[in-house]
Amino acid sequence: MEVPEWRNVIGEMVRDHMRSPELEHYFSVKMNQRRAQLMIAQLGLYIRHRRDCWAHVSANCPVMAIKQKILQHEFGEVIKDQYSEYGHLHLIVQQAKRVGMNAEEVLNTKPIPTTNATLYAWGWITHAKSWIEGLSSLTVTEWTNDDRLLKDIGGGHSTRMGQRWMEDLGLKWRDMPNFDAHRQADEEHSDMFLPFLSEYATGEKQQLALDAVKESLELFGLYREGVAIAMERIPLN
């Protein structure tokens, strides 16, 4: 498939995912401070784990241009970009402070069981499967933040969850630097690896890539459903 076809096919898979019962449940959960703390701390674990996963894909991939693109991607995530001088985990820490957490609490948080299971799964996909499957499974998760693709159904994750925090916690976008950055940054990230799928995910490898996209979105649904259930166990009042 050419790049526009990949964009359309993956885009429809992401749209279906964002309309799934798991995601509708996740976005429906009312927020208070303790629920927001749980959500942002689990997101911090997820963001840290992505660094390992992208390293796995780079190690498995023999194509230098892809290794370079991964390094470009990870420089912004880990070192600095236009959204942070300290990497994107710093954005999580800063946002968590707005709901009463300190850096130590964010960095030392423990995963809930569903977070643990899904992080293990993404780690296995990116380490043990082919680099095409690993690349596909990682890049699609950033599509869930792409407002260009999802605006007509409520927006991407960061936009929708940011609106939830504003409605329930009275915060502003300036109080939510992680959400504010990723509703913008992941538009670029969504496009970043499409040319490589078009070039290398051909023949039988095309279906491998699409199956990895499907599996990864299913894992994302499980991860977010787990967070939703855990938040609902915390009394709202």
Q: What is the mean pLDDT of each run of 10 residues along the chain (237 residues)?
A: 96 98 97 97 95 97 97 82 66 94 95 98 98 98 94 94 96 92 65 95 98 98 98 95
Phi, psi of 114, rounded to the nearest 5 degrees = -70, -35
Assess if residue 82 is contained within a domain.
Answer: yes
Assess if residue 129 is contained within a domain.
Answer: yes
Separation between Cα atoms, residue 98 and residue 37, nearest integer Å: 9
Task: Check residue 86 and give its pLDDT.
Answer: 56
Assess if residue 221 is contained within a domain.
Answer: yes
Token representation of residue 25: 């449940």
Q: Which of 62, 69, 70, 73 is nearest to 200 (CA)?
A: 62
Is the pTM value of this prediction over 0.85? yes
Token representation of residue 58: 């780079």
Task: Check residue 174 and give its pLDDT.
Answer: 92
Report whether 69 contacts 135 (CB < 8 A).
no
Assess if residue 50 is contained within a domain.
Answer: yes
Assess if residue 235 is contained within a domain.
Answer: no
Tell me which residue has tokens 């380490």.
127
Assess if residue 237 is contained within a domain.
Answer: no
Separation between Cα atoms, residue 59 and residue 44, nearest integer Å: 24
Task: Check residue 56 and give its pLDDT.
Answer: 98
Task: Check residue 143 and give its pLDDT.
Answer: 95
Q: How many domains does the chain have?
A: 1
Assess if residue 150 is contained within a domain.
Answer: yes
Task: Identify the burial level of 128 via C-beta atoms within 10 angstroms of its C-beta, where 0-12 means exposed, 13-18 middle and 19 or more buried.
Answer: exposed
Separation between Cα atoms, residue 6 and residue 190, nearest integer Å: 11
Task: Check residue 66 and give its pLDDT.
Answer: 97
Task: Check residue 83 and give its pLDDT.
Answer: 59
Assess if residue 236 is contained within a domain.
Answer: no
User: By residue range, what is the domain housing residue 164?
Assistant: 3-230
Tell me, what amino acid is at 170? G
Separation between Cα atoms, residue 224 and residue 39, nearest integer Å: 9
Q: DSSP character for 83?
A: S
- Cα 82 to the center of its chain, rounded Å: 19
Task: Check residue 84 and give its pLDDT.
Answer: 55
Question: What's the CATH number where 78 sits?
Answer: 1.20.910.10
Sign of dihedral through CA atoms 146, 148, 150, 154? Answer: positive
